[in-house]
Each structure stands twice: as C-alpha cells, then as structure tokens.
A and B are shown apart, each in its own frame.
Chain A
C-alpha cells in the first residue's frame, strides 16, 4: 500500500469520527518516544510500560475533547508526565535508577558484533549511561523534565513552555540550572572513579 504521509492531526480527526485503526497508527508512531520519556523519568522498565499503556488509554478517552490547541504529541507528553508525577507521588519515592541486567560489557559486545566499538568503549559508555541516569534522577523534577523534553524529544522552548504550562524564560532557566548541576555531578563521578582506580592500582602495586 503506498502511503501518503498522514499527519497526527488528520489521524486524530479520523479517531474522533470513530476510526479506531487510526488510533492504532498514532500509538505505533508515538509509543517509542512516550516509553523513552516514561523510562527516563521513572527509571524502571516495568513502571514505564504501565505508564505508557495508561497514557494511551487516557489519550484515547480524552481525544474527543482534544480540540487541537496544542500539537497531539505535546498533549500526549503532558498526559505522560502527569502520570509519571502521580506514579512517583503514589510510590512515595524518587525516580529509581535501574541498571539493566545484561550490563556485562562482553555480553553487549556479543549482542552487537557489527559495531566498531571496542569492549572497553562499550563498558565506558554503559558506565556513562548509568552515571547520567543517576545524576538525572537526583535533579529536581522540573529541571529533569525540561532537559528530557529538549535533549531527547527535540521540543522547542515554546513547545516545552506549552507542555509544562510555564513561561518561556522559566524553561531556559530550568535548562541552564539542570545542565549546570549535571555537569558538576558527572565531573564528581568521573573524579571519584579515577580516584578509585588509582587507589586499586596503588594497593595492587604495594601488595606485589
């Protein structure tokens, strides 16, 4: 079937007219980004899956009242973020950092034989990924959300302001503060790791 690209807004109109298949298409289009947002906000795959499912169910139920003042994606992001917020409050805990179980560098290398990355590079990247996840989890929610929307979902300042319902200048301030805190924490982690490594080396050398 040749496919002339259909916009989200056209699909939304069709769903509103009773075409369920168009909603399936919207889900297929947006499930990955919505999952990524939920995962990076909550830090747990299981929670992220639950939130994604609930977000689309709520989206479907609310679509009749969606008048198109915002982009469909921004609207969906907002639903997802609200659900994440509820989720964190209900669980009375800060976002968790989950290190995937197969974090063994060798396993990773076997999974991706075609990649040009060396095992060492892979391990470094995994360590960095975990460090970033940890540092992001420690950020205040509004700074974390602004960074997620900008860095991973490519929203403009204005779109973020619309989604989070705050002034444009606030978005820029949150981004700046968030990035600055992240930089300090990542530097601290890197120094910590370097110190640990040199300590281990020193103790190994003194024992031989």
Chain B
C-alpha cells in the first residue's frame, strides 16, 4: 500500500471508490509514514490556495450582433428608408430627363445600323435601338449610383427602397407595429419568450425586406419601361421629322 501513490492521490482528492477508500483508511491507522505523507500533501494544497491572480478587465471585445445593431438603430432604419425613397424619386426623374435629352444620341448611334437597308418609317424602334437604349440606361444608372454613393452606403441594409406606392409613412407604420409586437412579447419576461420574439421579428423583417425588394424591382421595371417608351417615341418622332 505504501508504494501505491495513485491510491493515496485519489484518496487526497476524494476521487477514490468506496472500497479503495476503506483500504486506505485501514492502512493509515497502522502506517505513520503514509499519515505523514498525506499531511504534507494537504499542507501543500493549502499553500497553493495563497496563489493569487491579479484582477484584470475583460480582454474580449464582444461581437456586435446584427440583431442588436438593427434593434438599436431603429430611427436610422427609418431615415435610411426615407433617404433611399428620395433617391429613388430623383433617379426616376433623372432617368426621364436624361433619356429625353440623350435620345438624339441614341438615334445617331442606331442610324448607321439602319442606313444600309433603310427600314420603313412606321417602325417605332429597332431591336438595335432598344439595346442601345439599354446600354445607355445602364451607364446612366452607374453614373447616378456613384454620385449617390454616400446615401446608398447608409441605406444598404434596407435595400433600395424606391418610391412607387411604398411611402415612408407605410414603413414607419409597419415599424411601429413591429415595436408594438415586441413590447407585447417582452412583458412575458421569460427568456424563451424573448427568444421567440426576436425570431418572429427577424422573420417579419425578412418578409418585409423581401416585399420591399420585390416592390423596388417592380418600380425599377416600371421606370425603365416608361423611360424606354419615352425614348422610343422621341426616336420615332425624330424619324418622322426626317
């Protein structure tokens, strides 16, 4: 037994089985060496307790979660939506105006294609003209976008909330509804309840985002369609004049 230090260590740390414990107990009664050994080990353990660790602040910079950002920046969200709304309206106006003024350029670009085999005057716009218009619009859009970069940067999270029938009052109303919902759920005061709430709000937000995105696409398509029509009409009128 005196050579079995593993048993003594298990006994010291109270991790010996009941039978091992009885064996060691019985041995200690008769063996002064092992009693001394055990006493010394206990005294070292006592000394170890004096080893302090200096107080220190946290070294961890907590992750800022997306949910927390969204939650804290409710007013910013509304502002961004409103800002992007204005941008969208401006963009629509800009498109129309620019398309009108640049129509002759489009006509001139399209002309060489048409000239070898002049098409009948009744054709409003050739596929080439439409493609040229598309390219022109794309470059216009790039120019407008880069000019608006700061505003768009802030609004990235809200996607491109463009005008049409989606007013900022509507956004704010939806937002207030979300807040009301969340307040209602918070009163349940259980972490499970709060978790569910966050999840619901997040889902709702995701659904809203999808709706908003869809409406943006629709609005953009509508704007694009209108601009195309205006451009085509202008091109046709030009041709008639000639």
Whether the pair A128, B50 counts as a contact (CB closer than 8 A) is yes
Bound Cα distance A129, B52 (Å):
6
Which of chain A's residues 115-142 have a Cβ closer than 8 Å to chain B? Answer: 125, 128-129, 131-133, 136
Whether the pair B191, A1 counts as a contact (CB closer than 8 A) is yes
Which of chain A's residues 143-194 have a Cβ closer than 8 Å to chain B? Answer: 147, 150-152, 156-157, 169, 172-173, 175-176, 179-180, 182-183, 186
Whether the pair B52, A21 counts as a contact (CB closer than 8 A) is no
Distance in Å: Cβ of A186 to nearest Cβ of chain B: 6
Given contacts A27-B60, A132-B50, A183-B44, contact A1 B194 (CB under 8 A): yes
Whether the pair B58, A31 counts as a contact (CB closer than 8 A) is yes
Which A residues touch B9, using CB under 8 A? 172, 175-176
Given contacts A172-B6, A183-B41, A186-B47, contact A39 B54 (CB under 8 A): yes
Name the one of A27, A39, A132, A173 contacting B47, with C-beta atoms under 8 angstroms: A132
Q: Is A91 an interface residue (CB 8 A)?
A: no
Which B residues touch A19, using CB under 8 A? 65
Name the one of A4, A21, A35, A179 contacting B67, with C-beta atoms under 8 angstroms: A21
Q: Is B240 an interface residue (CB 8 A)?
A: no
Which A residues touch B13, using CB under 8 A? 150, 157, 175
Name the one of B40, B51, B58, B67 contacting A132, with C-beta atoms under 8 angstroms: B51
Which of chain A's residues 1-47 have a Cβ closer than 8 Å to chain B? Answer: 1-4, 6, 19-21, 23-24, 27-28, 31, 35-36, 39-40, 45
Q: How many of chain B's residues have a CB under 8 angstroms from any CB in A? A: 35
Whether the pair B54, A176 counts as a contact (CB closer than 8 A) is no
Which B residues touch A53, using CB under 8 A? 59-60
Whether the pair B51, A2 counts as a contact (CB closer than 8 A) is no
Which B residues touch A65, using CB under 8 A? none
Whether the pair A31, B60 counts as a contact (CB closer than 8 A) is yes
Bound Cα distance A201, B181 (Å):
78
Distance in Å: Cβ of A9 to nearest Cβ of chain B: 16
Bound Cα distance A2, B195 (Å):
12
Which A residues touch B53, using CB under 8 A? 35-36, 39-40
Which A residues touch B68, using CB under 8 A? 21
Contact with A along B38-62 (1 / 0, CB 8 A): 0011011101101111101011101
Contact with A along B1-18 (1 / 0, CB 8 A): 000011011100101000
Whether the pair B45, A151 counts as a contact (CB closer than 8 A) is yes
Whether the pair A2, B190 counts as a contact (CB closer than 8 A) is yes
Nearest opposing residue in chain B for A23, CB measure = B63
Name the one of A21, A132, A136 contacting B65, with C-beta atoms under 8 angstroms: A21
Which A residues touch B50, using CB under 8 A? 125, 128-129, 132
Nearest opposing residue in chain A for B67, CB measure = A21
Bound Cα distance A136, B47 (Å):
12
Whether the pair A172, B51 counts as a contact (CB closer than 8 A) is no
Whether the pair A132, B48 counts as a contact (CB closer than 8 A) is yes
Whether the pair A2, B44 counts as a contact (CB closer than 8 A) is no
Bound Cα distance A176, B10 (Å):
10
Distance in Å: Cβ of B116 to nearest Cβ of chain A: 60
Which B residues touch A113, using CB under 8 A? none
Q: Is B149 an interface residue (CB 8 A)?
A: no
Q: Is A56 an interface residue (CB 8 A)?
A: yes
Q: Is A52 an interface residue (CB 8 A)?
A: yes
Q: Is B117 an interface residue (CB 8 A)?
A: no
Whether the pair A129, B51 counts as a contact (CB closer than 8 A) is yes
Which of chain B's residues 48-98 have a Cβ closer than 8 Å to chain A? Answer: 48, 50-54, 56, 58-60, 62-68
Q: Is A62 an interface residue (CB 8 A)?
A: no
Name A's B-contacting residues (CB within 8 A). Answer: 1-4, 6, 19-21, 23-24, 27-28, 31, 35-36, 39-40, 45, 48-49, 52-53, 56, 100, 125, 128-129, 131-133, 136, 147, 150-152, 156-157, 169, 172-173, 175-176, 179-180, 182-183, 186
8 contacts between A and B (CB under 8 A): A4-B191, A53-B59, A100-B54, A128-B47, A129-B52, A175-B9, A183-B43, A183-B44
Nearest 6 pairs between A and B by C-beta?
A20-B63, A128-B50, A172-B6, A24-B62, A132-B51, A176-B5
